[in-house]
Structure 1
Amino acid sequence: MQSLTGWTQTTPSPYELRTGCEVILLGAGVASVGASLALDDNLTPLDAATIPTLNRRAINGFDRPATYQFSKTAGRLSTLVLAGTAVAAGAVGISPNARQDWKTVGTMYVETILLANGVERSVEKLVTRNRPFVYYPNAPLSEKLTTDARRSFFSSHATNAFASAVFAGEVFRHYYPNSRLKPVVWIGTLGLATATSVLRYEAGKHYPTDLMAGAAFGSLVGWGIPKLHEVKNRHSALKQLDIQPWSTGQATGLYARWTLK
């Protein structure tokens, strides 16, 4: 008998763990996090004399409206809504049919979060961009004087929100392929991720391009990790994935290439 989810317990699992795959993906995730920690964090914060001289007209027209935004309440809410996307991913992972594969789903989610955060934090340290609220006269000076005020690109909240949202949607649709709830899960999780991004904008924390980059990268990771674990795709997908470490002596990182066929 099928439930509302449209899945029976006798159906084979859509995902599986494979030693070679997990070594590569967990290794890439840990290495990217390690690279983000190893990168020099000697960024000089803005000083009180420089801040009044900053001109928002130097910001491109698409991003400039963000410099008129600032809200501590929106900032706090964005973190709460972000937590909601993680809860949604967890709920899918412990749902009746996914629960039997909790090790597989759990490993995939850990890989997703490690890789998404490792790469995002590495880029954040390599790219200096003042947050929008720096240009907002009424924002607290104390917040403008921190190094974090110069870490706008790209958005960690958007990255994590969309990584979790797409991961949840992908995993649900594979465990419940005939479910009438699939649109609900997709709309719900992507709605939470979008709300997170909008709140970061209203908080004055990010420009639209920061959020778009985070959403795109997070979505890619949230889709790609489950894709690599699909039973029917695991061999061909891994053959198309090439990940190698690199180092210049001053910086370290990972080179990844996925050949589409």
Structure 2
Amino acid sequence: MARIVPVNIVVLLACAVQLLAPLALPAAAADPPPSCSKTFQTNEKGLCSEAPDRIFSPAGPWSGTGGYLDGIALPPPAPDSGAAAAQGGAAPESSKWRWRRAGLWDSLGSGLGIGATLFSESVYGEPGSPRWSARNGFDEGVRDLLRISSKRGREVAEFSGDLLMGTLIGAPVVDALATLGVRDRNWDALWQTEMVNLESFAFTSLASSVLMNTIRREKPYARTCVGTRCEDYEQRNRSMPSGHVAFAFTGAGLICTHHAYQHLYQDPGNERLVCGTSLGVAAATGLLRIMADRHYTTDVLAGAGLGLISGFLLPRLLHYGFGPPAGTAQEGEGGATQGSLTLVPKALEGGAALICEVQF
């Protein structure tokens, strides 16, 4: 029987090429330092102060949209999409990257995650015996209700689940490419967004692989196996969590997160629509996995939890922060509020401390 390649390896081979993307993308020009306008003075610290009108626009990409207040940088206000379109194809302000940038450590971490997943799959990817084969009333009840009785029907459900999962894996990548790349020609923001995608999918791959190979829960269909004659013999003891559902919710979470912070469609209604649709498709993926008898309900719930962590929480921890997205907070004269979380270790006499600083 031909060996079925686990979905983790397929996903990693597809997204690992993003690590080479900087070689193909144009280098982003560094923003020039801000300068004072004619009505402002530069003090002994090199900052603009004593401003009659309080706010002025520095030179560079923020011209006309940002400013300084007594030498303190103010974030730019929400952009006007119509004005951006009138600038002859210039990238709209909403597409500029204003959060923590992915760097060398992010690339190394993603690469290590990919390598660790490949090792886990190649060495431990076919557990011979289950550690968890006990059944419970909840999972059995849902299985009896949703499982398709015919083998052909289960195969169709499995293929449909594969298709939906693949769509959600590619959706955040293609979505960013179409908006930030093709439409805006903003290669820097595109690269940063794709690095966020790579980190989340690499985390999902590694976490799901380690959990499945460690828990080694018997899949529902394994009870029908006769020797090696089975619908998917090699993967019969890798039920929790559901890798398909984890990847599906990772993709859906990334779509929701990118649209919440970057406003890729520049339309709040469409941003909410694409987020809700993505979450619905991810939920349908889980339903199809149960119908195909590939997972129990608790496997699907565990996969959904893992995917939501990767798609919603991880990008905020590493890049976006936990402040309200631009345009959703109460805005003052300086524009939208952006929050950040900083953890700093500090050595003390007789011990150590971890200082948590929240800016908003």
Normalised TM-score (structure 2): 0.55
Deviation at 1:38, TM superposition (A): 6.8
Q: 1:172 aligns with which of 255, 259, 273?
A: 259
Q: In structure 1, what is the Cα distance between the partners aligned to 2:273 and 2:285?
A: 18
Contact 1:9–1:97 (Cα < 8 Å) also in 2? no
Q: 2:141 aligns with which of 49, 65, 74?
A: 65
Map residues 1-261 of structure 1 onto 2, 5 A cutoff.
1-2=80-81, 9-11=92-94, 12-19=96-103, 22=106, 25-26=109-110, 29-30=113-114, 32-33=116-117, 36-37=120-121, 40-41=124-125, 43-44=127-128, 58-68=134-144, 69-70=147-148, 71-97=154-180, 100=186, 101-135=189-223, 142-143=229-230, 146-176=233-263, 179-227=268-316, 228-230=318-320, 237=341, 239=343
Q: 1:22 to 1:153 in 2, by over 3 A?
A: same
Structure number with greater Rg is 2
Q: 1:132 to 1:37 in 2, by over 3 A?
A: closer
Q: 1:232 to 1:124 in 2, by over 3 A?
A: closer
Residue identity opposite 1:239 in structure 2: L
Deviation at 1:144, TM superposition (A): 5.5
Residue identity opposite 1:150 in structure 2: N
- Tell me, what secondary structure is at the counterpart of 2:229? helix
Contact 1:66–1:206 (Cα < 8 Å) also in 2? no
Q: 1:25 to 1:195 in 2, by over 3 A?
A: same
Q: In structure 2, what is the Cα distance between the partners aligned to 1:42 and 1:194?
A: 27
Q: 1:36 to 1:193 in 2, by over 3 A?
A: same
Q: In structure 2, what is the Cα distance between the partners aligned to 1:124 and 1:60?
A: 19
Contact 2:113–2:203 (Cα < 8 Å) also in 1? yes
Q: In structure 2, what is the Cα distance between the partners aligned to 1:19 and 1:135?
A: 48
Q: Quote the sequence identity (%).
A: 19
- Greater RCO, CA 8 A, separation 6+: 1
Deviation at 1:143, TM superposition (A): 1.8
Q: In structure 1, what is the Cα distance between the partners aligned to 2:249 and 2:128?
A: 31
Query: What's the RMSD between the two structures over aligned residues?
Result: 3.5
Q: 1:120 to 1:240 in 2, by over 3 A?
A: farther
Contact 2:342–2:357 (Cα < 8 Å) also in 1? no
Deviation at 1:172, TM superposition (A): 1.2
Contact 1:159–1:215 (Cα < 8 Å) also in 2? yes
Q: Hey, which of these two has a bigger chunk of helix by percent?
A: 1
Unaligned 5+ runs, structure 2: 1-79, 83-90, 149-153, 324-337, 346-355
Q: 1:38 to 1:140 in 2, by over 3 A?
A: closer
Contact 2:125–2:213 (Cα < 8 Å) also in 1? yes
Q: In structure 1, what is the Cα distance between the partners aligned to 2:250 and 2:344?
A: 21
Q: In structure 2, what is the Cα distance between the partners aligned to 1:146 and 1:109?
A: 32
Normalised TM-score (structure 1): 0.74
Deviation at 1:223, TM superposition (A): 1.3
Unaligned 5+ runs, structure 1: 47-55, 242-258
Q: 1:41 to 1:232 in 2, by over 3 A?
A: closer
Residue identity opposite 1:230 in structure 2: Y
Deviation at 1:240, TM superposition (A): 7.9
Q: In structure 2, what is the Cα distance between the partners aligned to 1:134 and 1:220?
A: 29
Q: In structure 2, what is the Cα distance between the partners aligned to 1:238 and 1:143?
A: 51
Deviation at 1:126, TM superposition (A): 1.0
Which shows bigger deviation, 91-100 or 111-120?
91-100
Deviation at 1:187, TM superposition (A): 1.2
Deviation at 1:230, TM superposition (A): 1.9
